[in-house]
Each structure stands twice: as structure tokens, then as C-alpha cells.
Amino acid sequence: VLTGDSAGADLPWYQRRGQFSGKLFDSHCRHEGEEVAVVAAETPLQAFDAIRAIEVEYEVLPFVVDHNKALDPASPKVQDAGNMVGEPSVNARGDVEQGFAEAEVIVEHTFNTPYEIHAPMEPHGSVAKWDGNRLTIWDTTQGVYSVQQGVAQALGLPLANVRVIGHYMGGGFGAKLEVGKYTVYAALLAKKTGRPVKIFLPREDCMLVTGNRPGNTISIKVGATSDGLLRAIDYESIGSTGAYTYSAGTGSMAAYLYACDNVRIKDTTVYINAGKARPMRAPGFPQCAWVLEQAMDELARKLDIDPIELRLKNLPDSLQARSGIPFTSNHLAECLQKGAAEFGWFEARKRPSRDGHLRRGLGVAACFWGYAGGPPSTVIVKLYADGSVNLNMGASDIGCGTKTWAAMIVAEELGVAVDQIQIEHADTATTQYATSSGGSKTVPSDSPAVRAAAFAVKQRLLQMAADQLEVEVDDLELSNLLIKSRSDAEKNVKVTDLTELGRQGVAIGTGYREPNPEGKATFPFAAQFCEVEVNTRTGEIRLLRFLGAHDSGRVLNRLTFDNQVFGGIVMGVGFGMTEDRVLDRQTGKMTNANLHDYKIPTMMDMALEHSCLPMDIPDTEFNTTGTKGLGEPATIPTAAAIANAVADAIGIRVTDTPLNPTQLAQLIAKKEA
């Protein structure tokens, strides 16, 4: 048994490098589920019995669980210094009052978004094992090097003594970017028992302590001229990261998605007595899309301009920060135009939308994603004398097909079959350095390094062949493990017959991720379209059709690309329609910390028809594979597109999630009354 009183367990806790986040065991628990003791046993049931046998004496303190009440002077302080997480962040340009004075149409609303739980299928957990002063950890993580750093910092070990292996994991969505306390508990218990220790959190604990997307209350006011040009945006967001420090900011997309001279964005983050937030799939952006893209839709309705036209009128030609930052590529206009054509938007708008008590409606929403990826990433490719290949990279495959595209790139560059390639990955002891798989940046960060490593092997083989055949290296080409002269087909050699390769045993290539172009914005863009049918008697919403039109640079693999988009849409449906962490104001406890009451969408909630339209335009200025990120833009505009389609169907603007039948039936009844 370990508690905060155990020798060696009284440690400070840093969630991220240098960011103090309480203690490993804190006798001042600030939210339900905060850890007070851990137990190791021979079997899980024995461990559960032991946990139940522990009596904890709690002194119940006053608490606050509503972010809108956190700053009331009457509310209890979650942290000694008060309930503000830093100062509010303000991002402003131009003169907002002047902009509204020039505007002919103004839209103003306050919105609420849910506290969303990552809820990956695989719970959080680790296995820890010591050999002397060397610790090996098998972790379900998005980044083995991030866990290595966190564990080394917590236990005061050299990085080199901590080996983290993360070969397989069942979903993370940002909850598994950072080290968890459970990993350090496993290490301490393994040390104490002298045996390997496995710890996996039950589902309820995952929901209480392993992170969430901050919920937000957001007010927006936008003003435009009668021909639909934006003159001013005023945006104010407040949200909570729970009892510990992280950011609940949402405003950056509102500042930059559309061209507007006069903008004021204010983001406030507060503490409440709840589990700490963690990054969750496009942190801040789905919240912002829910607000900004509904406001744009409302503006289009007021102006009687098609919502696609309105967006096209207001696209910026650079990122409106400082004096303007050019994009390496921005195909949002194509996403809107080609997406509309593929979806049959304009034809569908002409169809009758009423069938008895059923109403059909169409919605669109757009986004960018403000994170790009870049160095560092190192990859090693080894080609053996028999022509088989090892690809060695540190990146984790978090379910997006990382190993698939990596093998495809090596296969293409070396002219070998994909099934000739074996992959070593995500092991701090044996693979190369990579940053965590997150931020939609694994492809644009790591694929250029993979390509560079394969290219280096190819150059090595061509040089061996040039020496052996006595021809110029530039005259040689490689395909299907055969190197031949372009000018004289007689001159050729199989890779497996290269004398020098036989002598060396292996040809090795190292690839590095080169820096991004300076002074450029390298963002992905998207527009999503949906058609819904609303039952005006019950408030039920059927999603009929969904299309994701995405500018994520070059498509490496169409199957994994489409699956990212569909997965993003599933998560967006959850964000908008079904998911919400409910904290009881009487007890401060989460009332739905299980997968029955916390409703993740199932196949039954998905649209009847899903489709995906990649623009597939390589961004060759950004990196050597021409790729941009996809995982996060795939979920940003989804919920807003649904809300806009509902507004189109029944003329009701739904400002608060969840957009479910309970709420909608009430709104319909109120409107009819």
C-alpha cells in the first residue's frame, strides 16, 4: 500500500514539464476521484477488496463546480491564490466599436459547450518493471518520450534509465499525451514489491481523473455590411480546466478564420472543483466553431445570403496576425465550393423541406486548425542484404494508420513491396526520437523524416551499384530491387547481388525532419456539410447525410484519410448532441461517470450516409511529403454544421449543447406557444 505518507511517495507532481500540478498524493483533494492511496495485490479482485477495506476520513469542504460561479467572491477558492488560471488572454486588432458602428446587420448570442470526456475504448494504464536502477514501462500513450520525461522528472532518474514502450494503444484523443500519476504509482509499487506491477484504471476513474475538454460559456457579437462583409467580431469566452492548471481558451479560430479588421477576443480560464482538463482533439476549436459558425449562419439568414457565399466573401488571404502571415497553402474556398458541388448543396436547397411533421434542413460549417507540426523527428531505415527492410521511428501509432503510411513511403522510395518492411516504433530504448502523436501533426512531422531516411538508403544503394557497374550514379534508377542504367539496360544489378551490400550486411539511412518555412502559416482547412430531418413532434434529429471536404495537403492513404474524417464526425456528433459531464451541484460529484449515462454516439446515431472529399493538393512548401494534418480538423466544424442544419429545418437557433430531443422538444414547444 502506498499513500502520501509512504517513504518515497511524498512527491510533487508535474503534469507537463515544469508545470506544478499538486502532489503525487495530495491530502487536500480538490475534486471527486483524486488519488489518496494505491494498492498492489496478486489479483485485481484482491486489489479491489483491499481498496474497499481502506477507510478514508474526509473533511468535506465547500466547493464550486460551475465555471460561471467560480469568480463570485462568495465561491470557495479551489487554489490558495484564487480561481483565476493566469490572467485573461486578450487578442485584439482594429477598433471594434467603430466596426459595429459601420455594420448594418448584427448577430449576438451566448453559447454553452459541454465538458467532454475523451473516453478512449482502452482505459489508461501501465506496466512497470525494474532491473536494478533501470525502469521499463509499457504504457498506453500517445508519446513514449513524453512519458519517459515525466517519469524521470517525478522519480529523479536520468532519462536514459527510463525505458518506455508504447507499441499498441486503444485511443487517446489527447488524454494520453502526458504522463499519468498511475504510471508513477506502478513504478513505485514495482520498486517496493520487487516485482512487475500492472495498473489499469477502471472506467469510472478514467472519467474522473484522466482529463476532459473544458466546457465553455461564450458570447459572440458579429457585425457585417448589407453585402455581407464582416466589420467587427467581439468574442468572450470563459471555461474551466478543473482544479489544476491548463487552458480553457477557445478564441483563436474566431480571430483568424474570416477576414475582419476589427476583432476583440477575450479568453478567461478558471478553476473549479473537478478533474483536470487535458488537451482533447483540437483543444478550443470545436467550442469556437459551435459559436462562430452558428453566428455566421445566423448572419447569412439575416442577410438572405447563402451561407457558403457568405463564407467565400470573407476569406482572408493571409493569417491576420502581426502584419499578416502568408499561408503555404489554403484551399478553404475549394473545400466550400467543391464540397457544395459534391454534396448537391444548391439542388438540395431547392427541394421541399416539409413532409408532415418532418422538416429537412441543410447546414455547413468551416474551420482551420492552428497547429502544424515540424522538427524534431529522426528516422532510420535499414535495408538488409536479402532486400528486406527495417523502419525505425519513435512515433506512436495511436490508431490513425501511422505504421501504414510510413511503410508505404519507404516502399515507394525504395521500390520494394510494403510487406518487405518491418517496423520498430515507439520505444525510447531502441527507436529514434519523435514528439508525441497529437496535434494532427504526426504525418507532417514524421513522414518527411521517413522519406528522407529511405532516400538516404536509396542513394547508398545507387552508389554501391555505380561502383560495381562502373557507371555514373545519376544514370541509375532503382525499382523492384533492381538497379539499372537508364542509358544502357544491359548494365543492371539486383540489390541482393550488390557485392558491397553483402560485405556490409546492411545499408543504413538516417532521415531528419527539416525546419518549416519561416514566416509562413501551415494550416489545414475544412468545410463540412450535413442534411438533417427533424421530427417536430418529438424533437428527434436524424442525420441523413454528412460530407467532410478537407484540405490536408497530399493524401497518403485514402482509407486512413476517410476513416479519420468519419471518426472526427462521430466525435463531433458526440460533442454537439450526446456528451456532457454532469457535476451535481449538491455534492460536487459526477453523476454520469460510466458509459451508460455518459453518452458516446454509437452507429445508430451516425448519419445514414457519410462521404469524404479530400482536396488532395500537396503543400510542397510546407514539407517534403506535401502533407498537412487531418485528425483534428475532422471534428472541429461537425457540431456547428448540425446546429445550422437544425436552424435551417425549423428556424430555431440552439445555443447550448447537447442538441438532443429533450432540449429540442422544449424549444419547439416554446416557439409554438
- Residues of the shown chain interacting with ligand MOS in the complex, contacts defined by CB under 6 A: 142, 172-174, 177, 279-281, 283, 438-439
Burial class (CB in 10 A: 0-12, 13-18, 19+), 102: middle
What is the smallest separation between the CB atom of 176 and ligand MOS, expressed in angstroms?
Answer: 8
In the bound state with ligand MOS, the residue whose beta carbon lies nearer, of 146 and 428, is 146
Residues 6+ apart with CB under 8 A from 608: 542, 543, 544, 545
- For residue 335, which amino acid is it? C
Q: Which is nearer to ligand MOS, 523 or 529 (CB)?
A: 523
Residue closer to ligand MOS, measured from CB, 173 or 622: 173
Using alpha carbons, list the distances in angstroms from residue 409 to 52, 112, 179, 381, 452: 52, 43, 31, 11, 10
Q: How far is the CB of 203 from ligand MOS (least distance, A)?
A: 20
Q: Which amino acid is at 51?
A: I
Measured distance CA(554)–CA(618) in Å, rounded? 4
CB of 141 to ligand MOS, least distance (A): 11
- Provide the minimum distance between the beta carbon of 287 and ligand MOS in the complex, in angstroms, as a whole number: 13
Which residues are bridge partners to 327 per DSSP? 521
Question: What's the gap between Cα 401 and its chain centre?
Answer: 15
Q: How far is CA 445 from the centre of its chain?
A: 15
CB of 644 to ligand MOS, least distance (A): 25
Query: To the nearest whole angstrom, how small is the minimum distance from the Cβ of residue 88 to ligand MOS?
Result: 23
Render 535-586 in DSSP notation, one character per residue: ETTT--EEEEEEEEEEE-BS-S-HHHHHHHHHHHHHHHHIIIII----B-TT
Nearer to ligand MOS, 22 or 279 (CB): 279
Nearer to ligand MOS, 172 or 223 (CB): 172
Work out whether the CA dihedral 631, 207, 246, 68 comes out positive or negative: positive
DSSP for residue 654 = -
Instruction: Evaluate whether 625 touches 554 at the Cβ level (below 8 Å).
Output: yes
3-state percent breakdown (helix, strand, coil) of the chain, nearest 5: 30, 25, 45
- How many other C-beta atoms lie within 10 A of the C-beta of residue 517? 14
Find the shortest distance in angstroms from Cβ 436 to ligand MOS.
7
The whole-angstrom separation of Cα 51 and Cα 40 is 10
DSSP code for 491: -
CB 336 within 8 A of CB 312: yes
Report the nearest approach of ligand MOS to the CB of residue 439 (Å).
Answer: 4
- Which of residues 280 and 549 has its CB atom nearest to ligand MOS in the complex? 280
Question: What minimum distance in Å lies between the beta carbon of 571 and ligand MOS?
Answer: 11
Nearer to ligand MOS, 166 or 172 (CB): 172
Distance CA 643, CA 113 (A): 12
Question: Which lies closer to ligand MOS via its Cβ, residue 174 or residue 215?
Answer: 174
| DSSP secondary structure code for residue 445 in this structure | H
- The residue among 284 and 553 lying less far from ligand MOS, judged by its C-beta, is 284
Shortest distance, CB of residue 117 to ligand MOS, whole angstroms?
13
The cell for 305 is 445570403
Cβ-based nearer residue to ligand MOS, 239 or 283: 283
CA-to-CA distance for 425 and 397, rounded, in angstroms? 8
